[in-house]
Amino acid sequence: MSPFDPVSLIIKKRDGGELTPDELTQLIDGYTDGQVPDYQMSSFLMAAFLRGMSDLEGFALAEAMLHSGEVLDLSDIPGTKVDKHSTGGVGDKISLILAPLVAAAGVPVPMISGRGLGHTGGTLDKLESIPGFQTDLDLDTYRRLLSEHGVVMIGQTKEVAPADKRLYALRDVTGTVEFIPFIAASIMSKKLAEGIDRLVLDVKAGRGAFMQDVESGRRLAERLTGIGEHFGCTTIALLTRMDDPLGRAIGNWLEVEESLRCLRGEHVEEVTDLTIALAAEMIVLGGAAATLDDAEVTARTLLSSGAAFEKFKEMVQAQGGDVSVIDHPERRGVADAIVDVFADEDQSGYVRSVDARAIGLAAMRLGAGRMTVEDGVDPLAGIELLKKRGEPVQPGDCLARLHTRNRELAEKFSDTVSEAFELTGEHVEPEPIVLDRLYAGKWSTG
């Protein structure tokens, strides 16, 4: 291996060259152990973003990030370990429902998640809006909780894919989030490192996703499943719609509340449907059902019976969370300022769409997300949608409710939220949340 010179690698990529696997390993290892500072890695990220990365570079990047830390072996824990990962969307609280649901079906779910990135929320931030909930657990505790409860949800540790943990935050503040090789390497490095046997991916496409169109979503799904299969992990991807926010709640505690309604058996539009579709895939991969139809019946039964809700409470208690707010969400309290957004005099008809990206950015600026790595998150901040696709609107109707630290901040973004609603004079038909399915290199609809 040649002497390590990060500047030469940055220049090589800046000028359109292709880095070798050894060079990428050197760069990632150097960044992980502190030889490469943030400013040099930021330069590399932007150079790669602008110049692109080949398939070979993408595989090498994923492998270097995977082996930047410990690759866990959970073979001593009974059962086929199955996880799910979403590529990120607005109002995407599915993991909070899905992990305990699948665990209640008897399939072990080890889940290592991330924080909010750009305009999309993060599973860890949502979980930590539950008072006392601990996501910063060591690997021995991770193993023990998975063995005892069949489900555990933590953040990236210093041992597991440490390169991803650092790069995840750096991408967020350098304008290099929406890049397929980075997204794929980030997701798959931590997923493959967590000790899973099988993986289901929720790859989102649309205005609120990092992949703005269906074809980009397909390319990302193909890259992700290709990496999974390369490392011997059976990987299935569902391509799902993300033009409108998922559900009605955007913001950490608001999304936990909506998840609790789903876990209690209430049908939450889009949220329940997508949860069932992903759960069915995981339950079949985990060997708890023979077919997707059988697995869907199992998943619906576990929601309606309360078994999934009880498993969620069990996980919350095991990870130090306050179970009383799970039973009584009203005890969590509300944001300091709550401001309603009303339809103008010229706004009438049916909601054609709600711009997920605009809503996600507004929620972030209200305090639900981060503008910089150092920013804190207000667990009670966010947006409730009072009107969704297909619903009628008359002048003066409440479109949305903003939750934030102060009224002035909420009023600043009222117009932005109002303008995110696109209306039409014609009735709007519902659209399926799942667009396509990728398994063994083949799309279901071609």
Q: DSSP for 257-316, please give it.
A: HHHHHHHTT---TTHHHHHHHHHHHHHHHTTS-SSHHHHHHHHHHHHHTSHHHHHHHHHH
Of 115, 171, 311, 357, which residue is the catalytic one? Answer: 171
Q: Give 82-328+434-443's CATH code, choosing from 3.10.20.30, 3.40.1030.10, 3.30.10.20, 3.40.50.720.
A: 3.40.1030.10
**Which of 86, 129, 186, 353 is flagged as catalytic?**
186
Per-residue pLDDT tens for 20-47?
Answer: 999 999 999 999 999 999 999 999 999 9
CATH of 6-52 among 3.40.190.10, 3.50.50.60, 1.10.3720.10, 1.20.970.10: 1.20.970.10
Closest by alpha carbon to 378, among 368, 363, 389? 368
pLDDT, tens only, 209-254: 888 899 999 999 999 999 999 889 999 999 999 999 999 999 999 9
Spell out, as residue ranges, where the chain has pLDDT lower than 50: 1, 446
Instruction: Give the separation between CA 268 and CA 291, rounded to whole angstroms.
Output: 24
Long-range contacts of 383-386 (CB under 8 A, 24+ apart): 383/249, 383/250, 383/251, 383/254, 383/359, 383/417, 384/248, 384/249, 384/250, 384/254, 385/245, 385/248, 385/249, 385/250, 385/354, 385/359, 386/248
> Is 164 part of the annotated catalytic residue set?
yes
What is the phi/psi pair of residue 170, to 5°?
Answer: -65, -40
For this structure, is 22 an active site residue?
no
Q: Determine the pLDDT at residue 374.
A: 67
Burial class (CB in 10 A: 0-12, 13-18, 19+), 237: buried
SS3 427: coil
Q: Give the rounded distance of the alpha carbon of 369 from its chain centre.
A: 13
pLDDT at 117: 63
Which of these is catalytic: 12, 81, 84, 85? 85
Give the residue extent of every domain in the chain: 6-52, 82-328+434-443, 334-424
CATH superfamily of this structure's domain 334-424: Pyrimidine nucleoside phosphorylase-like, C-terminal domain (3.90.1170.30)
Q: How far apart are CA 131 and CA 332, in angstroms?
A: 8
How many Å apart are CA 161 and CA 176, to the nearest integer?
A: 19
Q: What is the model's pLDDT at position 190? A: 86
Which residue in the list 164, 197, 355, 436 is annotated as catalytic? 164
Tell me if residue 190 is catalytic.
yes
Of residues 12, 81, 115, 190, which has the active-site annotation? Answer: 190
Question: Taking the C-alpha atoms of 248, 250, 251 and 256 in order, what is their torsion angle to the nearest 10 degrees?
Answer: 40
Radius of gyration of the chain (CA): 21
Q: At what angle do helices 180-193 and 214-230 cross, to 10 degrees?
A: 40
